[in-house]
Amino acid sequence: MMIKFKVFSNAHKEEQWLNKMLQNGWQLKSVNAFNVYSFEKTSNKEQILRLDCQSFASEQKFQQYKALYEEFGWVHLGGSRLSTLQYWLNSNSIDDLLFSDQFSEKHYLHRLRKIYGVYACFSLFITFCLFQNSAHFLTIKDAYYTPGLWDKNGFDFLGAFLFETPLAITRFGSPWLMLIFGLVSINMYFKYKREIDKSV
Amino acid sequence: MKRHKLLPLTETMHYILLALRRPLHGYAIMQEVETVSNGEVRIAAGTLYGAIENLLKYNWIILVPSDDPRRKVYRITDEGLEILEIEKRRFVHILSLYEGGFNDDKV
């Protein structure tokens, strides 16, 4: 059993990484919404892992989707109705791809591009709001709310300081993190767009 | 008349529509297509799923009520048959060109 935390900006890289782990004898067991991957030792290196990008209007649709893939021999390892990315494992080496023609492969890229477009708009909007409504993103000292904190001494100071630090870092860092996330998303959006244009 | 955006059909779509002239569930569509194409066309899961969603959206196929709630059965609609008819005319025309149509007509 091995647990890993990793963040990817690219579904293709994520897929490659998961397949590399598989080649090293670690098969993905599950993955949650916070990008925590659980692996299990395996000796079957013939298996292959594929990512799909789908979310569903209803639970019923999600079940139908899973039922169809399972009939083809794919095992659903991760992803929920609204998670967009779906993780599939196949142990028969005949069907090692989720997409068998150019049309559907291209649509997969379209869905990925759309997701990053949504991420970009959303995070840049939040970034804008955060920058607009707060003044803590320039000096971290302003992000400490405790009254009279900087006049305190000794343990009194240390206690209050340590208590407030995670909150201050959140206040100071969140607009910047959102901005970075937004820029990464824009970059991915255009990367997929180029890939789609190339495949015409 | 403007051509529908899914026309001309991809090979996959074509085979699926032809197969669904009788009611079939998802996996059976793939098997049927593999058989009639002499093993040439093996539709992958994601491709089949996307194609079914697309065909449903344009009402070229519909869901047929069945007992198994997870295993959906589909069949072609009249609109779907019309699309096949359009495609058939296109193929017949191209075939006629193969068979010397260019020489007989004025170029």
pLDDT tens digits along A38-64? 999 988 888 899 999 998 999 988 999
Q: Would residue B53 count as lying in a domain?
A: yes
Contact A94, A188 (CB under 8 A): no
Q: Quick check: B102 pLDDT over 80?
A: no
pLDDT, residue A87, reads: 94
Q: Would residue B42 count as lying in a domain?
A: yes
Number of domains within chain B: 1
The CATH code of the domain that includes B29 is 1.10.10.10
For residue B107, what pLDDT band results from cuts at 50, 70 and 90?
Answer: very low
B18: number of Cβ within 10 Å: 16
Please compute the mean of the pLDDT values over residues B18-40 and round it to a whole number: 94
Please compute the mean of the pLDDT values over residues A1-29 and round it to a whole number: 90
pLDDT, residue B46, reads: 95
Give helix B26-36 / helix B11-19 axis angle, nearest 10°. 110
Set of chain B residues whose Cβ sits within 8 Å of the Cβ of A55:
none
Set of chain B residues whose Cβ sits within 8 Å of the Cβ of A62:
none
Chain A residues 85-144 with a CB less than 8 Å from chain B? 88, 94-95, 97-104, 107-108
Q: With CB atoms and an 8 Å threshold, state whether B12 touches A97.
A: no
Set of chain A residues whose Cβ sits within 8 Å of the Cβ of B30:
72
Longest CA–CA span in chain A (Å) reads: 70
3-state secondary structure of A116: helix
Q: Would residue B4 count as lying in a domain?
A: no
Q: Would residue B2 count as lying in a domain?
A: no
Q: Quick check: B104 pLDDT over 60?
A: no
Q: Please name the amino acid found at residue A95.
A: D
Q: With CB atoms and an 8 Å threshold, state whether B46 touches A99.
A: yes
pLDDT, residue B52, reads: 95
pLDDT, residue A93, reads: 61
pLDDT digits (tens, 9 = 90+) for A67-92: 999 999 999 999 888 888 999 998 77
Q: What is the dihedral of CA A75, A78, A80, A83, to 10 degrees?
A: -130
| Minimum CA–CA partner of B50 in chain A | A104
Set of chain B residues whose Cβ sits within 8 Å of the Cβ of A98:
44-47
pLDDT, residue B1, reads: 59
Q: Which residues of B46-79 are buried (b: 16+ CB within 10 A; e: fewer)?
A: bbbbbbbebbeeeebbbeeeeeeeeebbbebbee
Q: Would residue B1 count as lying in a domain?
A: no
pLDDT digits (tens, 9 = 90+) for A133-185: 766 677 777 778 778 888 888 888 888 888 888 888 888 888 888 899 899 99
Q: With CB atoms and an 8 Å threshold, state whether A100 touches B10.
A: no
Contact A70, B71 (CB under 8 A): no
Å between B45 CA and nearest CA of chain A: 5
Q: Quick check: B60 pLDDT over 90?
A: yes
| Minimum CA–CA partner of B70 in chain A | A64
Which of A64, A95, A107 is nearest residue B44 as measured by Cβ atoms?
A: A95
Q: Which residues of A64-89 are buried (b: 16+ CB within 10 A; e: fewer)?
A: bbbbbbebbebeebbbebebbbbbbb
Please compute the mean of the pLDDT values over residues B51-59 and round it to a whole number: 95
DSSP code for A117: H
Q: Quick check: B103 pLDDT over 70?
A: no
Which of A64, A100, A108 is nearest residue B72 as measured by Cβ atoms?
A: A64
Please compute the mean of the pLDDT values over residues B60-70 and round it to a whole number: 86
State which residues form the domain around B77. 11-104
Q: Quick check: B57 pLDDT over 90?
A: yes
Q: What gap in Å lies between CA A46 and CA A30, rounded to an integer?
A: 19
Which of B27, B50, B51 is nearest residue A71 as measured by Cβ atoms?
A: B27
Distances (CA, A) of A50 to A95, A167, A199, B33: 11, 39, 20, 23
pLDDT, residue B47, reads: 96
Question: To which residue do tokens 């194609």 refer?
Answer: B51
Express as a percent the part of chain B with pLDDT over 70.
Answer: 93
Positive or negative, the CA dihedral B90, B92, B93, B95 is positive
pTM: 0.82
Q: Retrieve residue A29's tokens.
A: 């067991």
3-state secondary structure of A140: helix
Count how many pairs of residues, chain A against chain B, have C-beta atoms within 8 Å: 64
Helices (H), B1-107: 11-19, 26-36, 45-57, 78-96, 102-104
pLDDT, residue A130, reads: 79
Å between B69 CA and nearest CA of chain A: 8
Q: Quick check: A10 pLDDT over 90?
A: no
